[in-house]
Structure 1
Amino acid sequence: MPSRPPPPSPTLRVRSKQLEVEIRMLRAHLDELVAEHKHVQSQLRSIVYPILQIPPEIIAEIFVWCLSGGPKSQAQTTAHLKSVPMQLACVCRDWRNIAFSTPQIWCFVTASLNSNLFYTRPYFTRLGTSPVVPLEVIARYCHQWETVKIDLMDRDAALLGKVKGRLPLLQKLTVSVYGESLGDTFGQAPKLRDLDVTVINTSARALSPTNFPWSQLNVFRGESLSIEDCFQVLRLTPHLECCTFSGWFGDSNGLPVLPLNLPSLRSLSLLNPEQFGWFLGALTLPGLEDLRLSILARQIPSFCEFIYRSSCSLKQLALRTSSMLSYEALSKLWEAVPTVTHIDVSPGIFSDQMTRLLFEQKAVLPNLCGVAVDGKGPDSSTMDYQLLLDMLRSRQHPAVDGPPSSIQSFGFRSSEGWDIALDIVSQFKSMVKERMEIQMDVTIPLHALITNVSL
């Protein structure tokens, strides 16, 4: 005969009864909490928040002012503008509806386009992800776009077709291109004046005459363009006033046979020290006033030749170098630009040789009234700060037979971790009393601050 299971012990029966009692108590407590929760929810729904009583039209107007500081304000900042629309749309359902029905707040957009969705990428995120806006919402208001930053992931015809020919107010466009061509999506933008193009993941020419309304552009910035594209931009933009090229690639085959004359160009930045000579040898810029270069010692003759050929009157000159320049090289450099009033240089250029040159020869840069030194480099420790101070003082109050103007402002940015002696900083500070504007971003030794906290 099969064996019977043992009867339950009295202990198990007692524990079962205890659990039943605890369950009934917990259920009763849960019922109390549910009832209290319903009561609280009912009270919350009965509360009328003041902001909910504001008409949607007024809230929409507040959104517009929040975005731009007021309708058509000139004080927009890129970092602020890129985050505001989606911050407003993610607060609540009512605000999202108001945001999506207020075209003015979509005038300033930062976005990444692909064939499925329009992803805005503001600083504000929810649950660790960037909010996603349906493409049709943004495309619906593309006729309101004024300032737009777009990462163009592909060339989906349906996507780009939603904005093509519908950009009557677009004034500033920043676009990153991943393919070999942009097409003519942005070719019809009658108010476009400011263009920034970055080419990513391509070694071929990315630009064509139909990409943008080139002839009306005033400002252009290009990064990672081929040398052929750089000069095509210059040929297609007769009214260009400000231009920046950085990180270009290619060889000299794309250079024009004769120097390209651009009389309207006032500001030029060439941020590739190895090949900027190609540009200077291929350009004539009679109206140039602001020039920014990374220069090497062997390129100074090309620089001087460019200045003399252009017969331009430079006012502002920013130069960077990775090596020290000799006294003779600096003499040739500054003799070519006697009209310069402001310089922004690296320590390799603002060396002891240059300081002595400015101190000893008053005819060098006679109109100089502003000096800035970017010491955030490995050669900042070689500067003779006392000699620099003596030079500034000597040109702060010009003599009767001295230069027609004096240095009125000086700025210095030191390398991280490089300490400047406290007495030097104090001497710079004392020059403020003599009506010279001093701006210094320096590191002061901790022990000096402890011993002289009144600095």
Structure 2
Amino acid sequence: MIGMIQTPLPPVPHQSAVSPPPDLLHLLRSNEPPQEAQIPVIRDIISDDKNRISLMDAEIVSLQSQIHNLNATLAQSLQKRNDAQLHALQHCSILSPIRRVPPELISEIFDRVCGGEPGKRLPWYLGHISRSWRHTALSLAHLWSSITVELHLSKTDVLLASMEEQLRRAAHVPLDVHFPDVRTDMDAPLLNLILRHSNRWGSLYLNRRRRLSHDTAVLDWLRPIKGHLEQLVRLEVPHYWITILDIFSTAPRLREVMLTDHHLRESPSSILIPWQQITHYRGTYGSGRQLEILEQSPNLLECALGFQGALSVTSNTTPTLPHLRRLTLDLHTAVGNITAPVLEDLLLSWSNPQALAWAQPLLFRCSSTLQRLALRQSIICMELIPVLRGLPLLAHLVLEYSAGTGDAQTDFFNAFSTAAATSEPPVCPNLTSIVYGYRFKGRSSKDAFFAMARSRFRPISADYRPLSCLRLYAVRYTLSDSMLSRMALLKDQGFDAAFLDERESEFLGENLFVF
């Protein structure tokens, strides 16, 4: 019976083959005919072999039957084991911690996975994890609000169906619309679908992957959306070879305009913006136009400014930005024309002595409000000391090495120490956090830096607040054992000192005031 183990049959006794007489051996090795007396003997040998073959065939059939029965039994046992394993896993899932994650935390996870930037995965995949996750993904309309308009013409039907489903699930949430590769001839069905919903656009991203031969991508197909951008808050156009007609000047809620990338490359030359209502701006233009934009933008809270053209160009325009809190600058002589009376965060993308001299008027005017300063690609030298001395409220300093001799570094760190003997006012007496992108020239500069750090953690003078946090990252080279041991010594002394890892260093590139 299949599925039951049968008692194996006793093995068939093997009989040895009859050995031919010696006088027959030569017949096996030649073609000679046998003698009459040899024929009966040969027939007996053949009969004996046939009998043994019959017995072995019977034994083989018996063994094959046993193997078949064992395989059937093994298959049943394996199936029972798999069923038991699946049953156990199903019950283990009842105890899974994921069942106890509150819906608001699941929503936060989905926001981080799906939201924020173009190219993020849509929540289609999240519904495969569990029934509750699927229900959460389907119930959160804002997860579906990021629309990417790609132009794979061979997949137009699939993209169209996907976009229609997204628009339905996004309900009435403002849409984040991304065009990663704009061109003059856009796919009509996709374009018509998304343009019909322009009154729901909350943000718009227009990019161009490759430069056109005539250096422009005229977006005539955007004309229908003019006057229908009631909810548009953010516009991002990071490439200057995209030409934009008068489309956004009538967007009543537009507040954020990003007209270049984080490297402050050239901005689109043709674009009309309602500057008087803009609160966040990033762009790169000639100094004259840049200052005119600032003068028209009294409500700016945050901006990043790149400058084109000759450094010697002067302007009588002196914009005052009464609400500006954060400013990023690609240094230019025009920087000295800007007044920001409540500025708190300042990032200088290049900070050699000449650039600092251009920024001195601005720094002087905001010395009583500036709390966070980032000096990228800095020449570490004594010229930095009077700049920092003029910022008494500075609490957070990001300093990145670009150049500087070993002696200049040593002198700077000695002067930056709280133990420096001087009749001058203290240097950054309220500093509580330092991030340093380091590269040391010689042992003396390294010794001076760590002596300065210890003095800042435990100030010798009562004029200084103690440093609470020190972070280092390596500029263009790897960590050495010497640096590791010196930082370990600071930590052993109870100080909050650590290296930024690779991910944190990359994050620092765009978020300089988070550590």
Maintained 8 Å contact 2:199/2:229: yes
> Could you report, residue by residue, the CA deviation over 1:40-87 in whole angstroms, capped at 9, with x for unpaired residues?
xxxxxxxxxxxxxxxxxxxxxx9xx989946xx999321455866469
Equivalent residue in structure 2 for 1:397, among 447, 454, 458: 458
- Decide whether aligned partners of structure 1 residues 331 and 145 sit closer, same or farther in structure 2, where only a CA change above 3 A counts: same
1:33 maps to which residue? Answer: none
> Could you report, residue by residue, the CA deviation over 1:268-302 in whole angstroms, capped at 9, with x for unpaired residues?
11124xxx23212x122211111111122234444
Please tell me the root mean square deviation across aligned C-alpha atoms, in Å. Answer: 3.9
- Decide whether aligned partners of structure 1 residues 405 and 237 sit closer, same or farther in structure 2, where only a CA change above 3 A counts: same
Measure how far apart 1:429 and its partner are. Answer: 3.4
Distance 2:161 2:190 in 1: 17
Sequence identity percentage: 19
Maintained 8 Å contact 1:82/1:109: no
Distance 1:133 1:421 in 2: 60
Distance 2:312 2:481 in 1: 48
Give the partner amino acid of 1:206. S
1:304 maps to which residue? Answer: 360
Secondary structure class of the residue paired with 1:162: helix
Maintained 8 Å contact 1:373/1:413: yes
Q: Does 1:370 align with 2:437?
A: no
Equivalent residue in structure 1 for 2:413, among 327, 346, 355: 355
> Could you report, residue by residue, the CA deviation over 1:146-198 in whole angstroms, capped at 9, with x for unpaired residues?
122113753343x1212211111112210145458633201122222111003
Could you tell me the TM-score, scaled by structure 2's length?
A: 0.58
Unpaired stretches in structure 1, ≥5 consecutive residues? 1-61, 119-131, 444-455
Maintained 8 Å contact 2:288/2:315: no
Distance 1:396 1:203 in 2: 43
Measure how far apart 1:215 and its partner are. Answer: 1.0
Secondary structure class of the residue paired with 2:411: helix
Report matched runs for 1:28-39 at 5 Å: none
Maintained 8 Å contact 2:147/2:175: no
Maintained 8 Å contact 1:147/1:171: yes
Measure how far apart 1:366 and its partner are. Answer: 0.4
1:277 maps to which residue? Answer: 333
2:177 maps to which residue? Answer: 109
1:76 maps to which residue? Answer: 115
Distance 1:415 1:194 in 2: 32
- Decide whether aligned partners of structure 1 residues 207 and 391 sit closer, same or farther in structure 2, where only a CA change above 3 A counts: same
Distance 1:410 1:177 in 2: 37
Secondary structure class of the residue paired with 2:370: coil
* Total equivalences in the alignment: 348
Q: Does 1:171 align with 2:239?
A: no
Maintained 8 Å contact 1:89/1:100: no
Report matched runs for 1:16-415 at 5 Å: 69=110, 76-79=115-118, 81=120, 85=147, 95=162, 97-104=164-171, 107-111=175-179, 112-117=181-186, 134-151=190-207, 154-157=217-220, 159-176=221-238, 178=240, 182-198=244-260, 206=269, 211-223=272-284, 225-246=285-306, 248-250=308-310, 252-253=312-313, 255-257=314-316, 259-272=318-331, 276-280=332-336, 282-293=337-348, 294-310=350-366, 312-321=368-377, 323-325=379-381, 327=382, 329-347=383-401, 348=403, 351-359=409-417, 360-361=419-420, 363-375=426-438, 379-382=439-442, 384-399=445-460, 401-415=461-475
2:11 maps to which residue? Answer: none
Distance 2:376 2:162 in 1: 49
Maintained 8 Å contact 2:367/2:393: no
Distance 2:170 2:371 in 1: 42
Give the partner amino acid of 1:116. D
Distance 1:337 1:380 in 2: 25
Give the partner amino acid of 1:285. A
Unpaired stretches in structure 2, ≥5 consecutive residues? 1-102, 123-145, 209-215, 503-515
1:448 maps to which residue? Answer: none
> Could you report, residue by residue, the CA deviation over 1:240-278 in whole angstroms, capped at 9, with x for unpaired residues?
11111235335654x431532222222111124xxx232
Measure how far apart 1:421 and its partner are. Answer: 2.2
Give the partner amino acid of 1:418. T
Maintained 8 Å contact 2:290/2:307: no
Give the partner amino acid of 1:240. L
Maintained 8 Å contact 1:170/1:191: yes
> Could you report, residue by residue, the CA deviation over 1:72-123 in whole angstroms, capped at 9, with x for unpaired residues?
x9993214558664699997996565235445588122203333215xxxxx
Maintained 8 Å contact 1:145/1:169: yes
Q: Does 1:426 align with 2:485?
A: yes
- Decide whether aligned partners of structure 1 residues 95 and 266 sit closer, same or farther in structure 2, where only a CA change above 3 A counts: closer
Distance 2:454 2:490 in 1: 8
Distance 1:79 1:156 in 2: 20
Secondary structure class of the residue paired with 2:363: helix
> Could you report, residue by residue, the CA deviation over 1:326-368 in whole angstroms, capped at 9, with x for unpaired residues?
x3x2332222212211111123479322211122338211001
Measure how far apart 1:220 and its partner are. Answer: 0.5
